[in-house]
């Protein structure tokens, strides 16, 4: 009879038994680097080496911290909760530290900002899009004309600026901040991207 390994997984200072996912968390598994340590930052940074495998969430945006909290919620639904990790976020009595309170506040702010962005973007319909190896990318509007527009909450959410494709009617095309896709006619309903 083989020896059954117990794989513990730490996420945002919570400890989970992920033994039932040993094909992922065991030796040779794609998530083995997460087993036995708190590597919460790597969930959003994508850095799965040395300094990236840390519990420090300092410097992450509010939406990134919210994303870590969302991952924690996934683990609560999917695996067995074992306990709290004593250290940066919990003291030896299991009480939250000031760092944990800060993380929770930042995640709550991220949730508020994401909801606000979703409401703002719902006011202006998004473009349809598709991509294929043969034709490349394409955006189009069933009603209106495709334009790139700055995401209003993006800087507060991620610290970066990004744009999205939205559909605008002809009378809205003079609104400030709208950008025609390069190589696309001003009144085209479909643009190659």
What percentage of the chain carries pLDDT values higher than 70? 89
pLDDT score, position 3: 38
Burial 107-117 (b: 16+ CB within 10 A, else e): bebbbebbeeb
| Rounded average pLDDT over 47-55 | 83
Higher pLDDT, 172 or 154: 172
pLDDT score, position 10: 59
Check whether residue 67 and residue 160 sit in a common domain. Answer: no
pLDDT score, position 2: 37
Tokens 């349809």 correspond to what residue?
A: 128
Complete DSSP assignment for 58-114: TT--HHHHHHHHHHHHHHHHHSEEEEE--SSSB-TTS-B-HHHHHHHHHHHHHHHHH
Check whether residue 44 and residue 134 sit in a common domain. Answer: no
Instruction: Give how many domains the chain has, as a whole number.
Output: 2
pLDDT score, position 142: 93
Looking at 117, 141, 167, the residue that finishes a domain is 117
Check whether residue 94 and residue 169 sit in a common domain. Answer: no
Q: How far apart are CA 172 and CA 174, in angstroms?
A: 6
Looking at 69, 100, 117, the residue that finishes a domain is 117
| Rounded average pLDDT over 109-134 | 86
Higher pLDDT, 13 or 159: 13
pLDDT band at residue 160 using 50, 70 and 90 as cut-offs: low
User: Do 13 and 38 form a contact (C-beta atoms < 8 A)?
Assistant: yes
pLDDT reading at 13 higher than 90: no
* CA dist list (Å): 103 to 78, 80, 116, 169, 184: 23, 23, 20, 42, 44
Per-residue pLDDT tens over the stretch 180-192: 999 999 999 999 9
């Amino acid at each position: 009879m083989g020896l059954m390994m117990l794989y513990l997984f730490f996420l945002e200072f919570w400890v989970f038994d992920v033994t039932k996912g040993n094909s992922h968390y065991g030796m040779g598994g794609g998530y083995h680097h997460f087993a036995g340590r708190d590597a919460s930052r790597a969930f959003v940074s994508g850095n799965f080496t040395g300094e990236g495998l840390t519990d420090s969430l300092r410097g992450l945006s509010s939406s990134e911290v919210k994303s870590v909290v969302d991952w924690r919620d996934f683990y609560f639904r999917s695996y067995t909760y074992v306990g709290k990790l004593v250290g940066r976020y919990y003291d030896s009595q299991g009480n939250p530290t000031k760092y944990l309170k800060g993380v929770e506040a930042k995640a709550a702010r991220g949730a508020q900002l994401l909801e606000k962005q979703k409401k703002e973007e719902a006011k202006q319909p998004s473009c349809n899009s598709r991509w294929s190896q043969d034709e490349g990318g394409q955006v189009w509007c069933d009603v209106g004309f495709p334009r790139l527009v700055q995401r209003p909450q993006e800087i507060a959410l991620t610290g970066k600026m990004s744009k999205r494709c939205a559909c605008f009617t002809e009378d809205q095309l003079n609104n400030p901040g709208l950008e025609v896709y390069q190589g696309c006619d001003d009144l085209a309903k479909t643009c190659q991207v």
